[in-house]
Each structure stands twice: as C-alpha cells, then as structure tokens.
Structure 1
Amino acid sequence: MVVAYTIADLIKKGLEALEEGEYNNPLLDSQLLLCNVLNVDKIYTYTHKDQVVDSHFVDKFLNLIDKRKSGYPIQYILKNQEFMGLDFFVKEGVLIPRPDTEVLVEYIIDIVNKGYFNNKDTIKIVDIGTGSGAITLSLAHYLENVHIYSIDVSDIALQVATENSKKLGLESKVTFLNGDLFEPLEKLKLQNSIDIIVSNPPYIPTNDIAGLQKEVAEYEPKLALDGGDDGLDFYRRIVKDSGKYLSDNGVLAMEIGYNQGAAVRKMLEEDKGNVPLSCVEIIKDLAGHDRVVVGFFKAIENGDCKLLP
C-alpha cells in the first residue's frame, strides 16, 4: 500500500530525520529541501500544508533528506547561498560564503564611501581567492567606480564566479584571472597601481581540518581551507608581494581566523621593507572576535587611523 504524505507530513518526517544529526536548523533544512523539490516558496508550505504530495516528489525529497543527513551541505543541494543581500550560485568545489566574510566586504565599502579614494576615477581592486565570487561581486555591486581583478587557482571557482557575474549583471566590472596569488597580474603590468587588495585566504591549520564540522571537513574544497601548518602560509605570501602592486594610497584587507589577529598584524608591521605601512587595524565581527586585518598605505594624520570607519 502506497502511503500518502501531505506537505506537513513530509516536513515533519524530514525534521525527525535531521534532528538525529549535527545541524543548526533541521526544521528549516527540511522546509527548504521540500520547497526545492516542489519548486515553491516557504509560504506555500504553510498555506498548503494539507496538500498530498505526488509519490515521485516524495521519493526525491526523502533522497535529499538522506543526502543532507550524511553531512552534505544544504547549500550544495540547493545550489544557492545568500551573501550581502545577493543570491550566489554555489556547487561542490567552491567554498560556501559565510556571514563572517561580510565584515570584510562592509569594511571596504565603508572606507570607499567615506571618501578614502575620492581622487580616483576608477578604484582598482584585486581579490585573491575568488571562490564563488562573493567578495568580488558584492564589491562590484555596491561600489560604482571600481574594477576588480579577481584571481583564483581553481577552474571550478572561476567558472562559478563567472556564472554569478552574469547572473548579477556585473561582467563589465570584473576581470577573472586564473593563477596563483599575484602571478596573473605580472602580464597586466599593474605594479604599484592597485588601490585595494582584499582576500579571504585559506587559514585553517592543516591538522585542524579533520576536526571541523563534517560538512566542511568532508565536502568543502581543502584548497580553500588549508593554510599550512599554522594556518598563516597565505598571509606570509600575500604580505610579501602586496607592496609590489599597491598604489601609494593602497589598502590591504584580509579576513582572518578568530585567533590569528595578533600574528597577522605583527606580520604586516614587521614587513615594512616591502610594505610601507602607516597604520594596521584589527576589525572584530559581531561576536567580538578578530575577523579582519587592514593595513593602510597612506601617511595618516599624526599616525592615527582617523580615516578608518
């Protein structure tokens, strides 16, 4: 005998299955997966909760619940993640954008809007580690007079980011480049002309990756997570070469792990032979954790960071 399930029955069934795992919001996951299968929004599931669901969709939904229960990220199932109020296409092979990274993006938007680059017709930005394009395309969307050189070594990441640029109508403001860190900039002769270098580099210590939440450790790309033995390998490389590309008034801003602020700040302050820093600041996230390190390359009045938000 075939069991008839209503929308409410399936959401409850999905909730019960996912509550056995380590998920932040099993009810929401169950709702979103059913919405995905039925191609409806959440409101529909409330207003049609007694609707009987075709057995084909029931099977498809239960298969997705099993997949999610295994730890597979829901963002990869839905192929979508919201970031900075924008919808980004994501798939396996690219890092899923996190709310923490919005601190970095909002900071850059703030200093530009406060007039730090008022003397520039076009602000040149380099984003190292494109991923889904979340940082690059958010900056391109919210800032008018920018052009962004967005770099990644991953072909999958560049494909996804390019698709997102088309989806958001931002192709003309971005140049995607394949290569390792600053390598692709060599041919473009952009030395000493970049106004902002921004990056969310891999910063998880190699031995810590296995202990991360299952959906991160097993499914997200290690290429985007692994920061070497102490998690700081990419910061060393970025700091070492950034002075070669930044303009006289340039800014270097990087997302960091919650316990890496002091180490990265010291790295910036001690490398003045390559990077003529006038000011280094650590920006905290809403939870009060160190989240972004920013180096300003302009002589700021009295040595104070008075132009910082």
Structure 2
Amino acid sequence: MGTWGVGDGRLARIEAMSSGAATTTQPTKVKDALHYWVERLRGDDVPDAVLAAEYIISYVLGLPRRRLDSEMSLVLSQEKVKEIERLMTCRLARMPLQYILGEWDFRDITLKLRPPVFIPRPETEQLVDLALECLQGIHKPKVLEIGCGSGAISLSLLHSREDIECVAVDQSRIAVNLAEENANDVGVLGRMTLVEGKVTSNASVSLPHDTYDLVVSNPPYVLRKDLTNLQPEIMLYEDLRALDGGPEGLDVIKSIFHLSHSLLPYNHYLLLEVDPCHPYLIPAWLEKQKKLKMAVINVYQDLSQKDRFIKCVKYE
C-alpha cells in the first residue's frame, strides 16, 4: 500500500488507533472477522459498514468481493488478521475506502487512487455517456477535459473509442502524475496529453491545439457555504480545491466558459457537471455575457433525479 501522504495529524491518529486496536483479540475466521469489523465500524458511525468490511477483507484475501460468501469458513493467518486490522483502522479514521484499497472501478476501467486526488463519483459516469453522444459522427475527435483529477473521464473516453485524442488539464501536479500512471495502465497514454495548469478567464494555460471538438469538465462546483456539510472522508483527505467553487459555486465554471468560447468551433459543445442550482444561475449569467456566444441547451438529471449535467453550445 505504501505511504498515503496524508497530514501528520491524521497519520498520528491512525497509528494511535491501530496501537489501541492491537490489544484486542481478533477473530480468525472470515465470517467472524466480517461480523466483528462491521460492528466496530457501525459503532463509530462509519457509513456503509458492511460494504467497507467486505471490500477490505476481500482485498486482503486477494479475492473479488462477490466471492467472499464462499470463503466464510476460511481461517485467516495472523498476517492476514493484522493486515485487515491495519486497513480497518484507516477506515475507522474515515479514510475513504478508495484510498485504502488504492484503486477503484470507474465505468469499465480500474483507476489507481491516492489522496488528495479527487475520487471520481458514480454519477460522473453519466457525463462520459453524454460526451460519447456528443462525439458521434465526428472522426478523430479532439477532447479537452478541464480538472482531470485521476483521469477518469478522459481515460473512459479513450478506452471507449480508439480514434479519440484527449488533452487533460489539472492544476495539481499530484493529479497529473496519477492520471499519467492510470493512462499507462489503461494503455491509452499515446493518445492523451496531460497539462499541469490552472484555467482562468484569460486562458493562460498552454494547450497543444487551437480548437477542440468537445470540452468536458467536472469542475469545483460546491458552493462555499456547503463545504462545512461535507463528510469527514472528504474534508480530511480529499483536495478541497477540487470541490470549492466559490460563493455561488461558479468561480471555475465561469473561467471554463471563457476558455470554451475561444476553443470551440460553432455548434460544438461544452459539457459540465454542476450543482443543482446552476441550471438556473448559469443561463442568467450567460445572458449578461453576450461576447461568449454560449448557451445552455440541455439539462440532465443524475440517478438521484437531481439536475446535475448541462450541455452548452457555441453559437454564431
């Protein structure tokens, strides 16, 4: 698993918890270990206790989670017991399961994940589907992703179509390096250009192409007042720069619109994942930005029936 790179305070807390837990006699059968750790996690109000316990025990055993039921009578070695305890202690400290395991599935690929790089959420898979729809009929499309994080969106697009080229931008060097690792693992590094830089309204980031067939982004869009409501997993371990969208959640989104205006040909699209209030705020803002020549033409709901994605077009 290596070093996670979390702050000294969080590491100290995890180590202290681990030392305390080590004094407890651990069950050695898979069935008993699963029950024990589910109760420990629930006792500390850790969300999705059963899911976390199943994933961690399966990971330590080197098994897919779906096969755990068939191994309930297996006797665990002391080494396995200690490793399960170490990883469960991290979960008790509210480290996200994705960081503990070091990888997670997104659509039809598996991504390496390390803190503080933003963990891709299941709803963002819908954004990839929308992007593929926008690219239908375009031969060898060039896609620009802004705020790539682990590379989930770009890598899913590249994995889905062999003729796509992606340029992925992120302000975090850690994220860019991780996305490069993932691109290499997925086998698409030759069609992906990674750029470390911050997108601003004056398009100061240096990009390899003058125009793109599609711009797509899951940008920082959480309203600043809502940051205090985030789960401890997010507040303690993820990079808040990937979440904080400013007072209205629009600080980065406005810059993306300015950049898209300069890079998209007419009748080409910008796709954004947004806060549910943004399908109301963004059109009103665009009405005042006549020079941008961008308009929201579709709003899509996520699996929870919340307005989550918008499709915008560059018009003449």
Shared fold (TM-score, shorter chain, > 0.5): yes
User: What residue in structure 1 maps to residue 305 of structure 2?
Assistant: 288
**Cα distance change, pair 42–133 in 1 and its aligned pair in 2 (3 A):** same
Question: Which residues of structure 1 form unaligned runs of 5+?
Answer: 300-309
User: What residue in structure 2 maps to residue 184 of structure 1?
Assistant: 205
Give the counterpart letter for 1:153 in structure 2: Q
User: What residue in structure 2 maps to residue 172 of structure 1?
Assistant: 190
Give the counterpart letter for 1:78 in structure 2: L
User: What residue in structure 1 maps to residue 240 of structure 2?
Assistant: 222
Query: Pairwise CA RMSD of aligned residues?
Result: 2.0
Alignment partners' CA distance in 2, 1:77 and 1:217 = 16
Alignment partners' CA distance in 1, 2:42 and 2:277 = 31
How far the C-alpha of 1:279 sits from its partner, in A, is 5.5
Once the two structures are superposed, residues 220-259 of structure 1 have per-residue CA deviations (whole angstroms, 9 ceiling, x without a partner) of 1111111112211011111123211112232111110122
User: What residue in structure 2 maps to residue 158 of structure 1?
Assistant: 176
Secondary structure, aligned partner of 1:282 = strand
Give the counterpart letter for 2:173 in structure 1: D
**Cα distance change, pair 242–42 in 1 and its aligned pair in 2 (3 A):** closer
How far the C-alpha of 1:278 sits from its partner, in A, is 5.9
Q: Does structure 2 conserve the Cα–Cα contact (< 8 Å) formed by 1:152 and 1:158?
A: yes
1:70 aligns with 2:93: yes
Alignment partners' CA distance in 1, 2:302 and 2:133 = 15
**Cα distance change, pair 245–185 in 1 and its aligned pair in 2 (3 A):** farther
1:108 to 127, 131, 134: 131
Alignment partners' CA distance in 2, 1:151 and 1:230 = 23
1:251 aligns with 2:274: no
Once the two structures are superposed, residues 74-97 of structure 1 have per-residue CA deviations (whole angstroms, 9 ceiling, x without a partner) of 000001121112211111121111
1:55 aligns with 2:96: no
Give the counterpart letter for 1:100 in structure 2: E
Secondary structure, aligned partner of 2:183 = helix
Once the two structures are superposed, residues 122-153 of structure 1 have per-residue CA deviations (whole angstroms, 9 ceiling, x without a partner) of 21111000100001111111133221110011
How far the C-alpha of 1:71 sits from its partner, in A, is 0.9
Give the counterpart letter for 1:155 in structure 2: R
Give the number of equivalent residue pairs: 290
Q: Does structure 2 conserve the Cα–Cα contact (< 8 Å) formed by 1:7 and 1:53?
A: yes
How far the C-alpha of 1:40 sits from its partner, in A, is 2.3
Alignment partners' CA distance in 1, 2:124 and 2:98 = 16
Q: Does structure 1 conserve the Cα–Cα contact (< 8 Å) formed by 2:276 and 2:307?
A: yes
- After the TM superposition, which parts of structure 1 deviate over 4 Å for at least 4 consecutive aligned residues? 1-4
1:97 aligns with 2:115: no
Instruction: Give the TM-score taking structure 1 as reference length.
Output: 0.87
Secondary structure, aligned partner of 1:59 = helix
Secondary structure, aligned partner of 2:169 = strand
1:263 aligns with 2:286: no
